[in-house]
Structure 1
Amino acid sequence: MIHAPSWRVLATSLFLVVGAGQATAKDVPASRGPGQAAIASANFLATNAGFEVLAKGGNAFDAAVAVSSTLAVVEQQSSGIGGGFMALLHKASDGRNVFIDARETAPKAVDMKVYVGKDGKPNRDVSTNGPLSAGIPGEPAGLAWMAEHYGKLPLSASLAPAIRIAKEGFQPDARFIGTIEDRKDVLARYPASAAIYLPDGRVPAQGWTLRQPDLATTLERLAVKGADGFYKGETATLLVSASRVAGGNWTAADLEAYRVKEREPLTVDYKGYRIVTAPPPSSGGVAIAEVLNILSGFDLTKLDLAHSTHLTIEAMRRAFRDHNEYLGDPDFVKMPLDMLLSKYYADGLRATISPDKATPSDLLPTAMSADPGMHTTHFSVIDADGNMVASTLTVNLEFGSGFVAKGTGVVLNDEMDDFALVPGQPNAFGLRGALANAPEPGKRMLSSMSPSFVFGADRTAVIGSPGGSTIITQVLEGILAFIDGKSASQITAQKRYHHQYLPDRVDVEAGAFDEATAKTLTDMGHVLKNRSPWGFMNVVTWDHRTNALDAATDPRRPSGLGKVGTVKSVP
């Protein structure tokens, strides 16, 4: 059964809505915490920053601020304070789950015509590069909000590791430098970007130390003045000036108007587990809930791999069709969530699935496609008291817009591409949107970010991943694997597959299917496309039977610099 929240704008903390006969907060062990803490992130410096703040007496929410801000320094190709995030919080003291929406917003002067080429198709250069591609950042406001409303420490304490690393410098890993190589032509367009990432006009070699005094100063203003230290005053002036000089359209009023939103998470019951996940403007939670509702009518354990995979692909196909058609910013768009999340709607969709034949996407009702990408980041935290955070952060594509605002050290996002700039035409991740996701002043663009909790009688998981449109299917497959009893490391390492309605194909990671399974799926009518590994999942699990924590980070993207999924005892 699914529970759809009322989509009012909420400025206070929210209670999880549950129905009769369902698991309640009391069913989630909260009388005692695990006594240890676990953090899984994309970079060991960020993981260490989280533990540093926990050792100072902070909780999981303070640690989340430390991890996020440190990632903004050491993993700028994937996230930063020039971007946004979505975070799911669980408070051990009362069992409440809260969703923080710090997604970017469109500036007031947004004009769809700017993003359309002469051929009537999206102008990808404008929508993904430079200041016109950037939405108003949400991460700084979100970090300040989390510290003020949920943390135990002042914001300055949680930002201290990031400020220190920005000042003293660090040696970027091969992935960071490889991304500079990938984006060097765009970075070279903008003097402030080139000065940071292309010293002497060249891509730096391994062993390079990156120091960022401007970014440290920007973070210090945030630490001292909270959100006003970013959205007003000197930082805001520098951001607006740099954007407009380079052809952007930001104003001081755009920055001053930005607000964090707290929303009710979605919850879905599946096979005795309760999944708590992201609501719109994330599309991920709705799609995950819809797939699970469809699959709840099948006993996948009685099927071979080919047929259980077939049914899962067909559920993905239908969920992504609805994703493209209906979803958008709940403050701007009325969405038929009661329908999409209804068990009766799932019954109808399930009835359209043949047990042994693929449904061509063009035979489904039309909905208003580039390989899926991976230019986001995710981390998972459980502290010693049992507080939890699942947070997914992004600047969209690699190094976002590629544009650094002079004097700030802040690389701006390119989230405007996540709007349906030309309805029916694919964005950089191949997703096709309708007017529900068209840009408007102050509107949040639809996101695939899907931070999630999975609560069972004996085990709990905190899960999420980057990966553009594949985030949804990665998290779905991770949830199913956890329910099947897999460990954190098994979940992050398992081979993946992905279908998103259009293009009508199944992206398959090497080793996901044996030859016989692949042949059976192909004979059913599925088009399988092998592609390189994707995702950077970070998972923390808690076994309530032994009170043991486990943390794992995706083995596909090892940093080679240290352990990033860690369990530690903290004071």
Structure 2
Amino acid sequence: MTMSLRLRIVSGTLLLVLAGAGHAADKPLHAAIASAHTLATQAGFDVLAQGGNAFDAAVAVASTLSVVEPQSSGIGGGGLFLLHRARDAKDIMLDARETAPGASNPSLYLDAKGDLDRDKSVNGPLSAGIPGEPAALVWLAVHYGKLPLKKSLAPAIRIARDGFQPDSRFLKELAQRQPVIARYPASAALLLDQGVAPKQGWIFKNPDLAHTLELIAEKGNDGFYKGELAQKLVDGVHAAGGNWTLADLAQYQAKERETISIDYHEWHIVTATPPSSGGIALAEMLNILSGYDLGKLDHVHRTHIIVEAMRRAYRDRAEYLGDPDFVTMPLAELASPLYAAGLRASIHPEKATPSDLLPGYMAAPQGTHTTHFSIIDGDGNMVGATQTVNLPFGSGLVIGGTGFLLNNEMDDFALKAGTANAFGLVGNDKNAPMPGRRPLSSMTPSFVIGADRIGVIGTPGGSRIITMVLEGILNFMDGQTPEQIVAAKRFHHQYMPDVISSEPGTFTREELKALEAMGYTMDDGSRTWGFMNVVSWNKKTGAYAAGSDPRGVSGSAVVK
């Protein structure tokens, strides 16, 4: 049966969805947490055991990840936190995306020929936006948590001070970024072992980060965005050639934004709104797909239809989306059934649509890095948080005495219209850097709600985040468990470059040939993607499940 999809940008949409009769459990009985590191997951449960809720646990998980997984996220970065508060069925997205400094100007990132200078956009002080993560942790504790920040941040402070052994993923990515890290004395002193990338067994202690977290625990936002730490950051950024000011830091605010709500067949999805492009793209793709019975299609034709939906959504991402505080976007039109019907009509059932037949831009190669965690607590509160410093170890720049890496999120802006960023994504002036503007993101934390099952899903993966979440949601709807969802093979298309990329083994040789015969260029890759973390609750049986991506090394999914 074909059904249309509706988009509502609303707050509090889960009330009717979650209020149902005849279920075995009115709320979860225990808790489930899935994150990229065992120490972070344990920190979340430690805080729950002290009487905290999912939001306190999110502070603990996020701050601990900033200690043990600095290649992916941290106090010097930002993120999007999708929240569901059970007592009043409130859904909200906490936007802690980084902002452009007041002195931002696209010309700062161009070389003498007027071309984008990639080194300036991804390395060092000019690549760093004003961090949002500290403001998010404070906001979560003050507005949603039950515990003081001192308790929620305590696990991260302890681990930073006492140290831990980094896993092989940390060490491998640190070795890859060593040349940039070695440029900056404080970065090298913190992350290198006598000037070289450390080996397995190295104990990483970070007393400066412990002190930074203590300042936040004691003073809230003022501990980071004002006072001694703010002055230290501004002085250090200027010394390295950047342009932050005390006003840039003092003016930063985490913002609550209404969520995007999608109805797809019998399922209800709550997801991220701009400055994330993920929710709108997800809505557009699902709206297109609502006109097909995917369950009746073979793997090749199912892939074909999903890819064509991906292609069209990513084209619109490049054309229309930006920071909602600066840009007026046709969100309702992009996610309307009528618009999707027109897009669907342009899909040939047996042939690929070349991307160059859709108006647009050119693009370039990709990279990936971010982190995601998912939480459901015993009261039914939920958090899906995707946070990032952008590329591995962000800008590579640590300001002396702070203990954390600055992000390189300025590369997520369209620094030159039509020129791809590090993830191969393109944009125009709607996503150009302006003072205080937040760069467009692909982060797509999502809740998936059915009659009996609820899931919290998200992943890192750069430009592939949105398509991985789409595939994960479709698999959840098909009845897969979190463990199956995070382990499933993945494919991706992002409009430009006009290629279906896939993980090794996603398609058989015969399926690859069939897709090529349809007109697709296939890249059956040599590596895997993402680090998805999913938790679920079965309202009918009361059972929890959690899955952490096996592609990771230290991922941890626990039900207690």
Alignment TM-score, normalising by the size of structure 1:
0.95
1:552 corresponds to: 547
Partner SS state of residue 196, structure 1: helix
Are residue 495 (structure 1) and residue 499 (structure 2) matched? no
Which residue of structure 1 lines up, in the alignment, with residue 316 of structure 2? Answer: 322
1:543 to 538, 549, 557: 538
From 124, 127, 135, the counterpart of 1:130: 124
Gaps of 5+ in 1: 7-13
How is 1:220-259 mapped onto 2 (pairs within 5 angstroms)? Answer: 220-259=214-253
Letter in 2 for 1:16: T
Tell me, in whole angstroms, the C-alpha distance in 2 between the residues paired with 1:30 and 1:192: 55
Alignment of 1:32-431 (within 5 A): 32-367=26-361, 369-431=363-425
Offset at residue 504 of structure 1 (A): 0.3
Shift of 1:31: 7.1
**Contact 1:395/1:413, CA 8 A, preserved across alignment:** yes
- What is the CA-CA distance between 1:374 and the residue it aligns to? 2.4
Moved more, 199-208 or 370-379: 370-379
The whole-number CA distance in structure 2 between the counterparts of 1:64 and 1:448 is: 20
**Partner residue, 2:7:** 3
Asked if residue 16 in structure 1 is aligned to residue 13 in structure 2, the reply is: yes
**1:26 aligned residue (19, 22, 34):** 19
- The CA deviation string for residues 135-183 of structure 1, in whole angstroms up to 9 with x for no partner, is 0000000110011000000111100000000100111011111111000
Q: Secondary structure at the match of 2:83?
A: strand
Is contact 1:372–1:470 with CA below 8 Å preserved after alignment?
A: no
- Deviation of residue 35 (structure 1)? 1.1
* 1:507 equivalent in alignment to 2:501: yes
The letter of the residue matching 2:19 is K
Instruction: Summarize deviations over 1:441-467 as a string: whole Å, max 9, x none.
Output: 000000000000000001010000000
Cα pair 1:325 1:368 within 8 Å, conserved: no
For 1:401-455, what per-residue CA distance to the aligned partner results, in whole angstroms no more than 9, with x for missing partners? 0000111112100000000000000000000111110010000000000000000
Deviation at 1:482, TM superposition (A): 0.2
TM-superposition CA deviations, 1:178-225 (whole Å, max 9, x none): 111000000000000000111211111101001111111010000000
Question: SS of 1:199's equivalent?
Answer: coil
Q: 1:485 to 1:219 in 2, by over 3 A?
A: same
Matching residue of 2:557: 565
8 Å CA contact 1:368–1:423 kept in 2: the answer is no
Distance 1:433 1:27, change over 3 A: farther
Taking only aligned residues, the RMSD between alpha carbons, in angstroms, comes to 1.5
Match of 2:439, SS state, is coil
Relative distance call for 1:187 and 1:338 in structure 2 (3 A) is same
Asked if structure 2 preserves the Cα contact closer than 8 Å seen for 1:30 and 1:95, the reply is no
Q: How far apart in 2 are the matches of 1:102 and 1:220?
A: 20
Relative to structure 1, the CA distance from residue 540 to residue 48 in structure 2 (aligned partners, 3 Å threshold; closer, same or farther) is: same
Distance 1:59 1:25, change over 3 A: same
Q: Any runs of at least 4 consecutive aligned residues in structure 1 with deviations exceeding 6 A, and if so which?
A: 28-31
> Residue 433 of structure 1 aligns to which amino acid in structure 2?
G
Residues 30 and 197 of structure 1: CA distance in aligned 2, closer, same or farther (over 3 Å): farther
Q: Check whether the contact 2:275–2:322 (CA below 8 A) recurs between aligned residues.
A: yes
**In structure 1, C-alpha distance between the alignment counterparts of 2:327 and 2:192, rounded to whole Å:** 42
Structure 1 residues 17 and 495, CA gap change in structure 2 (3 angstroms): closer
Distance 2:552 2:506 in 1: 18
**Residues 193 and 403, structure 1, Cα contact 8 Å, conserved in 2:** yes
The aligned residue for residue 438 of structure 1 is: 432
Looking at structure 1, the residues matched to 20 and 242 of structure 2 have their Cα atoms a distance apart, in angstroms, of 51
Q: Contact 1:369–1:429 (CA<8 Å) still a contact in 2? A: no
Instruction: Please give the per-residue CA displacement for 1:283-323, whole angstroms capped at 9, x wherever unaligned.
Output: 01111110000000111112111111100000000000000
- d(CA) in 2 for partners of 1:512, 1:549: 28
Structure 2 CA distance, aligned partners of 1:227 and 1:154?
Answer: 14
TM-superposed CA distance for 1:365, in Å, is 2.2
Q: Provide the aligned length of Structure 1 versus Structure 2.
A: 554
Displacement of 1:384 in angstroms is 1.1
Task: Give the drift of 1:114.
Answer: 1.0
Q: 3-state DSSP class of the match of 1:99?
A: strand
